[in-house]
Amino acid sequence: MLTPEHQLHAIWLCFEIPRAGGRLLETGTEDFLKLKSSGKLGNVPVIVVLTKYDMLIGRIERNLDETSANGLNDKAIKEVVKNKAEAELQNTCIGPLKQFAGPDIPYVTISTEADYKQTLVHLIEITESRVGRYSAPEAAVMTSIAQRVHPGLKIKASIEVGKKRYWKALGSCPMFKNRSMWDCLRVLHIDIVDVWNFRDPHKYLHSQEFRTMMMNMVDKIEVGPATNPTKTMAFGLSMVGTIAAIVSALAGPAAPIVVPIAVGAVLAVWAYDVYQISHAVLQRFMAYIIHLTLVLQTLYLISESQELTRRAIKLAVNCYIESPMSGEANTRIQDYDDQLTIVDRMDSDALDKIVEVMQFYSIDEAQMSKLREKPHVDLPDEPWS
């Protein structure tokens, strides 16, 4: 017989935040929480989700007396409101929860309103953390793949899937033997795209046109040491500014977005050769993994969970190419150390370098908040060219 943790990965127990003096828990919920605290639910993590946090904040702001706000600026007033909200939550929600469930059940306050999207990110982070702690590692990866709120967890899932499925295989696995490099890249492409779980009913991200865009991007890499290995990497909010500027310029309905999708002559030479591990091939595989992941991160930020269009995809590719990120990623790959043998490097240094670059350019919550300030734009479909 399967235990609960083999059937469930996590439980979200959702409650609307009651008014002061209101009752949070019904009898049936109290019984459920007692089952959890007694251990009868096994290791299945339970996360209490307190909804409509924006309404609590709004109610406290409306009832804030002048004495509390006297002489305070807007930032200080928001802090007062937040503290009062936390105090009310402790009285109406957290106290009753601890009484029936014990101290170890985490809780999250959330709102789906635009100004509170960071609360959803927090919920996803806690869920992924708890699932990773109490379930098989694969369950935590699937949690990251399923969610469409937190791009940083998509990067993390891409790394975990890559480590398990294909990164080491590039160096030694017979699955690539006697196959063209285009076939090898197809395997990488499918796995990476699937991790991001876009709303892509037309399979645009699996199309030949998008694959060719990525191949052209990789083909620009100069194999060998970088021309300026001492170059300082300056990222910060540069990607945020680039996305905001390009979206403003190109997201309107006027002119189609142009991205070259013709296969170059050099690309045709190496992409269709039979796979043979070498320094040049290794760098190109690293570049494909890194560039595709970061393009998809950019698309994630632009598309905002909408159904994908070819215009949105081309906009993401343009944003990435025009940003400092793409050139810096190439430089980091070109700076890659050539001291070890090919196989040793694939088993250690190359894997570490892929992880390092992907994590370095992962968009964090502060950058996400900055990007949310950009106006929403419609991205209607249009031909690839």
pTM above 0.75, yes or no: no
pLDDT on residue 2: 45
pLDDT on residue 235: 42
Written as one string, the DSSP assignment of 189-251 is: HHHHHHHH----TT-GGGSHHHHHHHHHHHHT---SS-S-TTPPP--TTHHHHHHHHHHHHHS
- What does the pLDDT look like over 57-67, one tens digit per residue? 999 888 888 77
pLDDT on residue 203: 95
Q: Which residues of the chain have pLDDT under 70?
A: 1-7, 20-21, 27, 134-150, 163-179, 220-244, 246-254, 263-280, 336-350, 364-377
pLDDT on residue 253: 62
- How far apart (Å, rounded) are the C-alpha atoms in residues 235 and 4? 45
Q: Tell me the domain boundaries of the chain.
A: 4-143, 152-372
- How far apart (Å, rounded) are the C-alpha atoms in residues 323 and 317? 10
Q: In the β-sheet with 11-16, what is the strand arrangement from edge to edge?
A: 11-16, 46-51, 107-109
pLDDT on residue 142: 62
pLDDT on residue 233: 35
Q: Which residues pair with 50 in a beta bridge?
A: 15, 109
- How far apart (Å, rounded) are the C-alpha atoms in residues 81 and 64? 8
pLDDT on residue 145: 61
- How far apart (Å, rounded) are the C-alpha atoms in residues 99 and 106? 14
The sign of the CA dihedral 360, 365, 367, 368 is positive
pLDDT on residue 40: 76
pLDDT on residue 72: 82
Question: Topology of 4-143 in CATH?
Answer: Rossmann fold (3.40.50)
